Amino acid sequence: MPRASKAGSQQKPTRGQRQTIPNVFCEYLGCGRAFKSTQGLTRHVRASHDNPTSLRNNSAGADEPRDATPLDEGFDHPDGGWNLDDDLAPRLDFEDVSNDNRQRWRRKNHPFLTARPCDEHGDFLPDGAAPAPRHNKLDDDWDPYDDKVQFRLADFAFRKAQISGSNINELLEIWAMDKLKHDDLAPFANADHLYEVIDTTILGDAPWKCLTTEPLSTDLNAPEWARQSYEIWYRDPEVVVKNLLDNPDFDGLFDYQAYIELNPENERRWSDFMSANYAWEQSNKIYENDVSTEGAMLCPLFFGADKTTVSVSTGNVEYHPGYMALGNQHSTLRRGHRNSVIPFVFLAIPKSDRKYDNDPAFRTFKRQLYHASWAAVLSTLKAGMTTPVVCRCPDGHFRRVIYDFGPFIADYPEQVLLAGVVQGWCTKCTAPAHDLDGPISTSRDHIMTEEIIDTFDGEAKVLWENYGINTDIIPFTMDFPRADIHKMLSPDLLHQLIKGTFKDHLVEWVSEYLYLVHEKAEAERILDEVDRRIAAVPSFAGLRRFKQGRRFKQWTGDDSKALMKAGLSAGT
């Protein structure tokens, strides 16, 4: 049982007293759920009502008529300022999806990738057919544990309380002494028996696998990094995707089709990913390349990666994890930490002697190993990117699913590595840093990069200096259909705004500015005054106190977000 937390100096009500708990009701239309506190109501609203479309029935049952809006009537390439003409709107078959009477939103789903339900063999079902029942694990099936008692004891001792082996043995001995009174046995013989049963536990159906690279050279005179093999641990991404799709907890927070939403003034609203231009355009490409995909469901895949250091009790060990999520999920679901973002790969981190840190051959090897690892791990998804695969969805229906690569979220150093560009250049365009609006600026993509390389006959120095192209890198997305790493790369709030703009730019810029315009002693006095003001911020709900100001070595994302709230007032 988790230990109860102390709540200030609040005393427990004595016998005979009545503790009144006010009920707070959700005021959203059609909901009316009651909560014990405003905090519970706030969490509920963020999870279920933060997106006005979250209570809609988003499971698209039947496909729309073939005479639905054709792709050449303003839907094939909608842009940021796109609006429907008044004379065109009445001809479009929009669905009223608003749950707010003050603002009537109309939704237009993609006319061809309609996410039509089918059976487990891929045959489409009649309109309105009920989903097949799920076959869940029996409630009394605790394999490999003998019963529920064994499972709960193992879970408590190993995961929750993290009891040492010697203490587990002592606990089991006491338990066995009591059980002997009834000629019975303790749940486990000893700690080793408990560990053996835990080791045989099957954690889902996406086990970890290992890829091992071949050494580049067997020559004893070759550098150590070239004679080593490297391990990449991963889970089959296709199995991970199917498990995410087959999660009934996501029902109601899941979009099955790309869509466009308009209000009565024909102004467009962007909310979750499936309302974006990218999802609509990818749906168009899939249908135009193969009309037999009509009725399938687009499943965009989000990726993320960031090398991290685990320095507590591990000797400064570095890991390079990769993450995956589904673009169909509502953003409130991903922010709610509801098992919607899954780590599925740990990339190798080659290391060698310090003399090789700036060795061009070693640096090229690390880049090529990185892209080869991604290509190998994601290879099981390639077939499903052209031929639909049958998967069960959160609402219980099977659908013919087409995989597609969506945004890849990474910080700038990782984006440079992914895009194969030179450090200091933009990963999305060819504009040099000193002339962002220059005449040679153009959007990067695979086709453009190949044309530039062919134009200059692969001259590495010219391409490096004038276009920021690293010819030693072939992005892993070259092996997959409809995948372009330059279009996939996406900024995120943590690295670009919270950490990048605020900490790495604004805070550092202010510090450097003070040292430039003041003597060192005066600059330090001003910075100490800022720290004292931050430390003097009074306690307030939602506002974190920093007793030592901002003088701590390692900033987490939470630290940066909390300091952003107090930094402006403290610095003025």
Residue 296 lies in a domain: no
167 falls within a domain: yes
The answer to whether position 273 is within a domain reads no
pTM here is 0.70
Please name which of 306, 258, 307 lies closest in space to residue 279, comparing C-alpha atoms.
258
Return the biggest CA–CA distance within the chain.
89
pLDDT in tens, 290-325: 999 999 999 999 999 988 876 554 555 778 999 999
Strand arrangement of the beta sheet that strand 106-109 belongs to = 95-96, 106-109, 259-262, 268-269
Residue 505 confidence (pLDDT): 76
d(CA 325, CA 563): 29
Last residue of a domain, one of 140, 167, 199: 199
Question: 162 in a domain, yes or no?
Answer: yes
* Helix (H) or strand (E) segment spanning residue 463: helix 460-467
Range from 6-15, 471-480, 530-539 that averages highest in pLDDT: 471-480
**Residue 558 placed within a domain:** yes
Least confident among 15-29, 93-107, 367-381, 422-436: 15-29
Q: Domain limits at 539?
A: 494-571
Q: Using CA atoms, how far apart are residues 255 and 60, in angstroms rounded to an integer?
A: 9
Task: Name the domain count of the chain.
Answer: 3
Res 19: pLDDT: 40
Q: What confidence category does residue 568 fall into, taking pLDDT thresholds of 50, 70 and 90? A: low
Give a yes or no: residue 438 inside a domain.
Answer: no
Token pair of 212 as six digits: 């091992």
**Where among 51, 70, 91 does a domain terminate?**
51
Q: How far apart are CA 147 and CA 517, in angstroms?
A: 72
Q: Helices in 291-379 by DSSP H: which ranges?
A: 331-335, 360-377
DSSP, residue by residue, 391-427: EE-TTS-EEEEEEEEEEEE--HHHHHHHHTB-TTS-S
- Per-residue model confidence (pLDDT) at position 263: 84
Contact 207, 235 (CB under 8 A): yes
pLDDT digits (tens, 9 = 90+) for 233-285: 999 999 999 999 999 989 989 999 999 998 888 888 888 999 999 999 999 99
- The reply to whether 61 falls in a domain is no
3-state secondary structure of 568: helix
**Of 49-53, 58-62, 112-116, 567-571, the least confident:** 58-62
Cα–Cα distance list, 479 to 369, 370, 389, 453, 484 (Å): 15, 14, 19, 18, 10
Of the candidates 31, 51, 71, which is a domain's last residue? 51
Question: Contact at 8 Å (CB) between 473 and 371?
Answer: yes
Q: How confident is the model at residue 199 (pLDDT cuts 50, 70, 90)?
A: confident
- Asked if residue 437 belongs to a domain, the reply is no
Cα(257)–Cα(52) distance, integer angstroms: 17
